[in-house]
């Protein structure tokens, strides 16, 4: 999981941060400071003042509700998403204009639309292998 920290220029920690970041014996892009290995991301400012934004990663997994990330997507998922986008954007597709509420699903179930998207993705994968 990625963690970030702002080190403000006017803070008590700023001098020790600079010492750790610009240590002459440091190798690589990261540095040990405040009990963790950090890397510099950018310099910016907010209402509290100028700061350097630092980041670090730990070995803890993402919380369960965030486990479906783009890192988990397959090319099949990508193709299904593109197929779903095409189905939804098609004026004759499952989503059609409705004067009452804006859009309505016509003649199909949402689960059927998702299933069809993956069927199209599977067909794209087969076509990709054949060429």
Q: Is the pLDDT of residue 58 over 80?
A: no
Name the least confident of 12-26, 56-70, 110-124.
56-70
Rounded Cα distance between 89 and 83, Å, is 10
Number of structural domains, the chain?
2
Q: Is the pLDDT of residue 62 over 60?
A: no
Q: Is the pLDDT of residue 82 over 70?
A: yes
Query: How far is Cα of residue 95 from the mean position of the Cα atoms in its chain?
Result: 27
The reply to whether 23 falls in a domain is yes
Q: Is the pLDDT of residue 96 over 70?
A: no
| 73 and 122 part of one domain | yes
Rounded Cα distance between 37 and 34, Å, is 8
| pLDDT for the residue numbered 77 | 87
| 82 and 41 part of one domain | no
The reply to whether 53 falls in a domain is yes
Please enumerate in sequence order all residues whose Cβ is within 8 A of that of 43, keeping only pairs 6 or more positions apart, or say none: 50, 51, 52, 53
Length of the chain: 131
Q: By residue range, what is the domain housing residue 27? A: 2-57
| pLDDT for the residue numbered 98 | 57
Please enumerate in sequence order all residues whose Cβ is within 8 A of that of 29, keeping only pairs 6 or more positions apart, or say none: 39, 40
pTM value is 0.46
List the one residue out of 85, 107, 105 whose CA is nearest residue 95.
Answer: 105
The reply to whether 63 falls in a domain is no
Tokens of 54: 């630092």
| 34 and 85 part of one domain | no
Name the least confident of 34-38, 44-48, 64-68.
64-68
In this prediction, residues 99-106 reach a mean pLDDT of 57
User: Percent of the chain scored above 70 by pLDDT?
Assistant: 76
Rg, C-alpha atoms of the chain: 25
Cβ(77)–Cβ(84) under 8 Å? no
């Amino acid at each position: 999981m990625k963690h970030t920290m702002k080190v403000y220029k006017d803070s008590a920690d700023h001098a020790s941060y600079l010492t750790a970041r610009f240590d002459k014996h440091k190798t690589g892009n990261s540095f040990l400071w405040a009990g963790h290995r950090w890397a510099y991301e950018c310099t910016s400012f907010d209402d509290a003042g100028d700061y350097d934004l630092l980041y670090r990663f730990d070995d803890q997994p993402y919380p369960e509700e965030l486990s479906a990330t783009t890192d988990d997507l397959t090319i099949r998922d990508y193709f299904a998403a593109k197929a779903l986008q095409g189905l939804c954007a098609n004026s004759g597709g499952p989503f059609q204009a409705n004067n009452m509420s804006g859009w309505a699903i016509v003649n199909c179930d949402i689960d059927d639309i998702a299933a069809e998207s993956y069927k199209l993705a599977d067909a794209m994968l087969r076509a990709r292998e054949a060429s």
